[in-house]
Amino acid sequence: SVVTTTTTTSYTYNPPLTATPNSPPSPITMKLTLAAASFITAASAFSTLSHNARSSTSLAAARKPFISGNWKLNPTTKDEAVALASGISDAVTDASPDAEVALFVPYVFIDAAKEAVGDKIEIGAEAVCPEDSGAFTGAISANMVQSMGVQWVLAGHSERRVLFGESDEYINGQCLKLIEKGMSVMLCIGESEAEYEQDLAGSVCAVQLKKGLAGISKEEMSRVAIAYEPVWAIGTGK
């Protein structure tokens, strides 16, 4: 199930987003759906981090679902971004289950996406730099996205860790900066295929949690969601 919490740790599993009624899903929506499906099927690998199964189940029942989608480096144009955001927004109706819904989109599409979805869906940013200003060419600060009305930001996504070399310490800096600014952060954690095959999922995720959340108080965890992302399962069919 999809869960999030306002206590010391929250777990967010992302189910497929519904396509616009009477129309086929776009390639991007399909990609998000496939990734989200893998996200759920691999959730059991994270169970070793639960305090105990019984309390975890009771907490899950009390939490409000939080469904999110990350657009990555998609789509290619503003018009496509508006169409995708509008399609997802149209799928959220009064008959939809009571849940928070968020889309993490490229910086350049934030304003257009926010206008397209209104107040039905939260529009977040895919990452921020932990610095406020200075000689950091190409970087985007928390202040910048906050000034655009953004409340939620991703940190620690596997692609940022692997492709851009973001360390646990850097990711922790992002988390701390967002909390400092009164914003909310979705911290992504997860093991690689090699780590999974060596039965290291629990220990890898525990380290990422400990380092990523260092310095964040129990009270501040109300503005943190944890997204378990089994890297080996997303888009692989495993």
Catalytic residues: 157, 229
What are the beta bridge partners of residue 69? 103
Which residues, including other chains, have CB under 8 Å from residue 155's CB and lie 6 or more apart?
A: 127, 128, 171, 174, 175, 178, 185, 186, 187, 188, 212
Q: Assess whether the previous peptide bond of 75 is cis (omega < 30° from 0).
A: yes
Cβ atoms of 104 and 148 closer than 8 Å: no
Residue type (1 letter), 187: L
Please tell me the distance from the alpha carbon of residue 217 to that of residue 176, in angstroms, as a whole number: 10
Please tell me the distance from the alpha carbon of residue 206 to that of residue 214, in angstroms, as a whole number: 12
**Token pair in block for residue 168:** 């646990």
**Exposed/middle/buried for residue 55 (C-beta within 10 Å: 0-12, 13-18, 19+):** exposed
**Token pair in block for residue 79:** 């018009």
Of 89, 77, 104, which Cα lies nearest the Cα of 21? 89
Cβ atoms of 62 and 1 closer than 8 Å: no
